[in-house]
Amino acid sequence: MNWESDASLRVRMVLTLAFVVILPFAFAYTLLYLLNTVGLDLLEMLTGDPWNGEFYVHPGLLAAGVGVGFLAQFALGKRMALRSAGAREVDSGEYPELHATVTRLAAQVDLPAPAVAVSSSAVPNAFTVGRSPDSATIVVTEGLVDRLDDAQLEAVLAHELAHVKNRDVAVMTLAYFLPSLTYFVAMAAYVVLQGVFHVFGSFRHVDDDGAKGLAVAVVVLVVSAVLTLAVSAAFWVGSFLFFRLLARYREYTADRGAVALTGDPGALATALRTLDETMADLPDDDLREQDGGLEALYVAPIDAPQFGDDRELLSRDLFPETHPPTDERIDRLREMDAELESR
């Protein structure tokens, strides 16, 4: 197979980037609108006094804050991802064959050879981070290197290099942050609710004035937390849907790219099957080492259905179904294999 650019992938990347920019503003102003309507009306009703002011955030200040946040994510995203995975960059002296394979595959598609990092995790997986092809880093786990044969490992590395060639790595470095942000804002609001009810229950002897003031404070906090929770949940759903628009499709595209690089669909198919079956048998503690905000970046998901409902993985809540079904990916690769053999 020859390397082919994917116009649909580019469209999805542009849409995702547009949503990445719009979402923080929509989230902030939706929350402000609710606080200035429902929140202030409630305060007036509880206190009997008019509330003429309103909550306000200057658009320039919000834009500056969002810009700083994106710059920080863009600049620090790779470092944060490597730290989260417990990975360190390695040189060709430590992993000569790994570096040689990455360098050879990169040369095939006219890319600078990405840096290589290795995580000590026993969970077999890989992902790529970086804001551009010049700064990309391919991360593999020791479990991946130990469990795959040479052809399978080459296929996985080719899959990751396809992400670099397609330039979806930079978009994902930004995009995966948004569902994470709205999810954790919702969780923070939930914690506030728990704290309010706990504090309220600890008051036993309060005079009438104190009771009224306490009731107002509790209601304001509860309503604010509920509004924040509702808005965060709604925007998490929206951000996740747009995130998924790119996250799932890019895996199919990278699979095709890997086949174009190696000419061996069967190697990637067997690699995916090995990863899927191996992770299903790993202890929970090993899986939780990779559980969290990087789920959508992995070559294979760690929240596969065969893990069972008793495994409490954050990735189930934060990024459910970010990858196409592994069986479907394997079927497509088998079709490519049959097509190549028939030529």
CB atoms within 10 A of CB 222: 16
Residue 102 has pLDDT above 80, yes or no: yes
pLDDT at 196: 67
286, 336, 342: which is closest to 142 by C-alpha?
A: 286
Task: State pTM to two decimals.
Answer: 0.79
Q: Could you please report the per-residue DSSP string of 226-261?
A: HHHHHHHHHHHHHHHHHHHHHHHHHHHHHHHHHHHH
295, 61, 276: which is closest to 177 by C-alpha?
A: 295
Distance CA 336, CA 181 (A): 38
Least confident interval from 14-23, 66-75, 190-199: 190-199
CB atoms within 10 A of CB 64: 11
Distance CA 126, CA 89 (A): 14
Distance CA 329, CA 332 (A): 5
Which pLDDT tens digit goes with each residue over 167-206? Answer: 998 888 777 666 666 667 777 777 777 776 666 655 555 4
Distance CA 158, CA 107 (A): 11
Which pLDDT tens digit goes with each residue over 316-341? Answer: 555 556 788 899 999 999 999 898 88
Which positions are catalytic? 160
| Contact in structure between 231 and 309 (CB atoms under 8 Å) | no
pLDDT band at 306 (very low <50, low <70, confident <90, very high): very low
Distance CA 313, CA 319 (A): 10
pLDDT at 215: 63
Residue 313 has pLDDT above 90, yes or no: no
Residue 305 has pLDDT above 50, yes or no: no
> What are phi and psi for residue 292, nearest 5 degrees?
145, -145
Q: Could you please report the per-residue DSSP string of 64-132?
A: HHHHHHHHHHHHHHHHHHHHHHTEEEE-TTTSHHHHHHHHHHHHHTT-PPPEEEEE--SS--EEEE-SS
Q: Between 152 and 21, whose confidence is greater?
A: 152
What 3-state class would DSSP assign to 141? strand
| Contact in structure between 130 and 164 (CB atoms under 8 Å) | yes
- In eight-state DSSP terms, residue 140 is E
